[in-house]
Amino acid sequence: MAKLKVVGPDPSAAVPLAEVAVRLHPADNVAIVKNSLLPGRVLTRDTGDGPGGQIVVRQLVPSAHKIAIQPIAVGSPVRRYGQYIGQARVAIQVGEHVHSHNVELGAPGQDYVFGVDAKKVSPVAVGEQRTFLGYKREDGWVGTRNQIAVISTVNCSAHTCLEIAHHFTPERLAAYPRVDGVSAFTFQGSCAMRVGGPTYTVLQRTLAGIARHPNVAGAIIVGLGCETSQAADLVRTYDLAGEGRRAPRILSIQDVGGIRPAVEAGIAAVEELLPEANAARRTVQPLSELVLALQCGGSDGWSGVTANPLLGLVADEVVRQGGTAVLGETPEIYGAEHLLVRRATNTAVGQELLALVRWWEQHAERLGTEIDNNPTFGNKAGGLTTIYEKALGATAKSGQSPLMAVYRYAEPVTADGFVFMDTPGYDPVSVTGQVAGGCNLVAFTTGRGSVFGFKPAPSIKIATHSGLYERMAGDMDFDAGRALSGESMERLASELLDLVVAVASGHATKSEAQGVGEAEFSPWHLGETI
């Protein structure tokens, strides 16, 4: 029997490095591989890629991973984006796969300079103002959705909240077409903590942020009755009855006689809210009313090449239009904070950001861990080696606009422009803080395929490469991987901005279409449980 002849490219034939890999900066000694390279593959390079000659691939280099294009001595910096991402733990030869087996964190020796890159944002010209169709609330904020929130003050009332919210099926809401849904906001905890302590304060601030969120037309708050986090304190402390909108209705399971009476009372309370919520109308609103959460999850080696820089261009345009872009995940800017403080509008803002970074260093030490544990299994499988590398790519989501302010977790965001919010790196906890702070839309980049959604703010999923977009077409909203095929970032950014405007105006995201987003509500618990 004749042997099967395999037809395909000759693996020994030399190909230009630029065809199979991306070098992001002239100072880089690594390049990012577009498709997996097998041992023995020969790559040619011009003088712009380093010393002339050829690169022979020494072992399998998976897609989105790094290949050495220059020799790297033991202890010498490994550079990507022109920045330090780690140091060689052993001598690395040209053509080797560069990853966790031969790179360690080391110390970048950051030089902090404040404000030197804080360039003034050019105002949008007349005729270039963008608008969307949003819900103008009586308190002045603008929503992109029109939901009713059923908010738990303690885990003990979570089941009751879920029963109340889930009573309102699409069939029962059919008479209220302008109501986007009734959602439960439940979580674990809320007792065994000190009144006024950090966990208590963060929790109450988060719950208040949901109750008064511009995407929420009305809210009811359900407690057990004896918990530490009392609903009455929440309403009083955060003035939820004085925001120019209907005060939340408070229900206590113990006071009304148990779960079943509380469920019935909650359903009745929501039914009272529905006609008023349905009376709301979308009207033309300037894009300056958009408060955009910048988020990433399941990042890979392409995140900092395609989706994150693309989102950065969109964030810059939102800022230019007078809107707000909110970056979070403090542990995921670790190693890139020096770039952000260069964009701080003043020294105080830059120092405030650095104080957060120092706090996280101390927090990690108290917990007996390291911030470099942040890159997950999936991140590393996708080509990210250290937290420095991950941070440099993640920070690209913020664009180039000046850093105007720094906010605590779930603190109301009132500044226009690019701002930072202190949140953990875990996506649900981070987005919970951003949305509680007032973000009315989430832009979420992913390289591994996060299926994240969030209520009450819609979440746009941006895939870093086309293979992911095609494989998970039911979950991804935008394909940023087209940039790797030669499409211009400016054109893709224009398309993505159009999608942002459409979603803000009511177009359903892929996660919304599947009903994803209720279970993701996750307030930050700082560890206090007594």
Q: CA separation (Å) from 397 to 113, 328, 497? A: 21, 10, 14
What does the alpha-carbon distance between residue 436 and residue 10 come to, in Å, rounded to a whole number? 56
Please give the single-letter amino acid code of residue 425: G
Confidence of residue 11 (pLDDT cuts 50, 70, 90): low
Confidence of residue 117 (pLDDT cuts 50, 70, 90): very high
pLDDT number for residue 207: 98
pTM for this entry: 0.94
Question: Which class is 15-104 in CATH?
Answer: mainly beta
Question: According to CATH, where is 3.40.50 located in the chain?
Answer: 140-283
pLDDT number for residue 4: 36
pLDDT number for residue 7: 36
63-95 pLDDT per residue, tens: 999 999 999 999 999 999 999 999 999 999 999
> HEC states along 474-524?
CCCCEEHHHHHHCCCHHHHHHHHHHHHHHHHCCCCCHHHHCCCCCCCCCCC
Query: Please, are residues 209 and 234 in contact by the beta-carbon 8 Å criterion?
Result: no
pLDDT of residue 299 exceeding 90, the answer is: yes
pLDDT number for residue 526: 84
Query: Please, are residues 340 and 395 in contact by the beta-carbon 8 Å criterion?
Result: yes
List the one residue out of 247, 192, 175 whose CA is nearest residue 218: 247
What does the alpha-carbon distance between residue 158 and residue 382 come to, in Å, rounded to a whole number? 36
- Cβ-in-10-Å burial (0-12, 13-18, 19+) of 357 comes to buried
* Phi, psi dihedrals of residue 112, rounded to the nearest 5°: -95, 120
Higher pLDDT, 290 or 530: 290
182-221 pLDDT per residue, tens: 999 999 877 888 898 999 999 999 999 999 999 999 999 9
What does the alpha-carbon distance between residue 488 and residue 255 come to, in Å, rounded to a whole number? 61
380-434 pLDDT per residue, tens: 999 999 999 999 999 999 999 999 999 999 999 999 999 999 999 999 999 999 9
Average pLDDT (295-324) is 97
Paired tokens of 192: 């065994």
Arithmetic mean of pLDDT over the chain: 93
Query: Please, are residues 354 and 334 in contact by the beta-carbon 8 Å criterion?
Result: no
Instruction: Give me the long-range contacts of 415-418 (CB less than 8 A, separation at least 24).
Output: 415/324, 416/288, 416/319, 416/322, 416/323, 416/324, 417/121, 417/319, 417/324, 417/325, 418/315, 418/319, 418/324, 418/325, 418/327, 418/343
pLDDT number for residue 45: 82
**b/e burial code for range 135-148 (CB count within 10 A of at least 16 → b):** bbbeeebbbbbbbb
pLDDT of residue 1 exceeding 50, the answer is: no
For the residues of 113-176, what is the DSSP string, one character each? Answer: --STT-PPPPPPPTT---EEEEEE-TTS-EES--EEEEEESSGGGHHHHHHHHHHS-TTTTTT-
What does the alpha-carbon distance between residue 182 and residue 3 come to, in Å, rounded to a whole number? 64
Architecture per CATH, 140-283: 3-Layer(aba) Sandwich (3.40)
Question: According to CATH, where is 2.30.130.110 located in the chain?
Answer: 15-104
List the one residue out of 56, 53, 43 whose CA is nearest residue 16: 43
Q: Residues with Cβ < 8 Å from 101, sequence gap 6 or more?
A: none
Average pLDDT (349-374) is 91
Average pLDDT (172-187) is 97
pLDDT number for residue 370: 84
